Structure 1
Amino acid sequence: MSERRCLVWQARATVVAAVAALVIGAPPVRAQESGALKKRMTGQWELSTAERSKTCVVTLKGDATAQGFRLELEPTCAAALPFTKDVAAWSIKGLDIVRLQDATGQPVIDLTEVESGIFEGLRSGEGIYILQNLIAARSLAKSMDQMIGDWSMVRGNGQSICGLTLTNNEATPDNFQVFLKPRCDPAVAGFAPTMWRLERGALLLMSVKGEVWRFEADDNAQWRRTPDTVDPLILLRQ
């Protein structure tokens, strides 16, 4: 047999083997990945509005129902997030979508993984909802409590240009009040933030004009405004 013919037969054999594996039930890659996500999702999760002003604990189970997999909602869910009254089961769609569905299998909300362990879903007319591991979510809540208090905004050279106080007073359903202290640098005074919140590990300061300054924690346990510049702005705890 010529070398070329040998290669052809080897290629055919590879295809036949792959088809045979499918016929006898070897799981395709997509099924394996879906199975891995299902296993990872089993447990307790927090479903919330984007800023965690309203939350609901969902326990995703691994045992099957007629339409998907079983779940349990804590009793306060219906009051916090009314659409959860229609949620009866959950399922995996595609490679990275967790679907909360009604008793007929229709989607109530589809949540897509946007970061490891964090899923986002949009309900038309309502906004974005977040599904994340319960322990991680409660850790974030603790982090928010630790943010309350007095801060100093400084330049990269250490020069203080403004003092501000982050409070836990609700400004809107998703944001909290922030107050500037007297004699702030004109750039900060002109920005005039009135609200703050934590969002995906970042601190957001917001003005009534809709302007947003974003700060992210660095390796030195301080918060730097992003995107970074040659003369950065840094928030330090007082």
Structure 2
Amino acid sequence: MVRFIPRLMAPAAVLLACGLAYGQGIDPDILKAQAGTYLVAPEDGASGCRLTLETGEAIGGYSVSGQASCIKPLPALAEAYSWNFDGNGGVILIDATRKVLARFVENEGSPMKTEDGAPLLLIAAPDGVDHLPSVASLAGIWTMQRPNGERLCGVTLNGRVDAEGNAPLSLSGDCAANVARLKLAVWHIEGFGLTLMSLDGSSLGFDMRADGNFDKSKEEGGKPLSLVRR
């Protein structure tokens, strides 16, 4: 299953960071790998804000910028003054008094996410996007096509989610043979990654574009392919 995921530390880097308490020096390569601009947004698809985790030192850790973008959607995070590693491979946002405002826990292969209350994700996002896609927002009719517009299949994404977070999908009766033989039957959204799956293990992963449509993940290989909402 291929998903659009944020920049994450390599396993060796995680082990090193886990042994460090707040305020201790972090290996510059680990710090640089985690630094960058992220979308912080509710998992349910509500609007979020963009924060930049910087490498300059600040009270409690390292400097943060972009807090003003959080004033309306996530006002508590507008008070973020710094960020740091939490000692367990995750990331925390801290105010000027060193109070932890949000703790993002690392999930292997998935975006960092808070565990208390309504989940917030810390994730790299396409430019101009201020919220995560949700099952409800993606349910509907899509066209699977080549970049030149050649139609390969119609795909209807159903919004009924099961206990594993998957929802049914159906394909049109005129799909190209290379699509029909995948026997795609369910779909799953995680972060900005959309995965279409069969019941026997086949899958096709897509990453969301800034316009809300999807392109086949580069990790999939093969010819370019897009999912475009009808």
Q: Match of 1:127? A: 118
Q: Which has the larger radius of gyration?
A: 1
Q: Matched residues in 2 for 1:140 and 1:79: separation?
A: 13
Q: Matched residues in 2 for 1:143 and 1:121: separation?
A: 17
RMSD: 4.6
The verdict on how the C-alpha distance between 1:214 and 1:58 changes in structure 2, with shifts beyond 3 A counting, is same
Q: Is it true that 1:78 corresponds to 2:39 in the alignment?
A: no
Residue 70 of structure 1 aligns with an amino acid whose one-letter code is S
Match of 2:76, SS? helix
Residue 16 of structure 2 aligns with an amino acid whose one-letter code is R
Q: Matched residues in 2 for 1:211 and 1:67: separation?
A: 38
1:181-200 to structure 2, matched below 5 A, reads 196=159
Q: Matched residues in 1 for 2:199 and 2:139: separation?
A: 26
Q: Is it true that 1:51 corresponds to 2:44 in the alignment?
A: yes
1:184-223 to structure 2, matched below 5 A, reads 196=159, 205-206=160-161, 213-215=166-168, 220=179, 223=184
Q: Which runs of 5+ in 1 are unaligned?
A: 1-28, 153-162, 167-192, 197-204, 231-235
Q: Matched residues in 1 for 2:54 and 2:16: separation?
A: 21
1:86-235 to structure 2, matched below 5 A, reads 86-116=79-109, 118-123=111-116, 126-135=117-126, 138=129, 147=138, 149-150=140-141, 196=159, 205-206=160-161, 213-215=166-168, 220=179, 223-225=184-186, 229=199
Shift of 1:47: 0.1
Shift of 1:135: 3.2
Match of 1:105, SS? coil
Q: 1:66 is matched with which residue: 59, 72, 82?
A: 59
More strand by share: 1
TM-score (norm 2): 0.50
The verdict on how the C-alpha distance between 1:224 and 1:57 changes in structure 2, with shifts beyond 3 A counting, is same
Q: Match of 1:30? A: 16
What per-residue deviation string (whole Å, max 9, x for no partner) do you get for residues 129-152 of structure 1?
1000133994996899x9575369
More helix by share: 1
Residue 30 of structure 1 aligns with an amino acid whose one-letter code is L
Q: Which has the higher contact order (CA 8 A, sep 6+)?
A: 2
Q: Which runs of 5+ in 2 are unaligned?
A: 1-14, 20-25, 144-153, 170-177, 188-196, 201-226
Equivalent residues, number: 154
The verdict on how the C-alpha distance between 1:37 and 1:222 changes in structure 2, with shifts beyond 3 A counting, is farther
Q: Percent identity?
A: 19
Q: Matched residues in 2 for 1:80 and 1:140: separation?
A: 10
Q: Matched residues in 1 for 2:183 and 2:49: separation?
A: 31
Q: Matched residues in 2 for 1:211 and 1:89: separation?
A: 35
What per-residue deviation string (whole Å, max 9, x for no partner) do you get for residues 106-140 of structure 1?
211110121447100133xx411100013399499
Give yes or no for contact 1:56–1:80 (8 Å, CA) kept in 2: yes
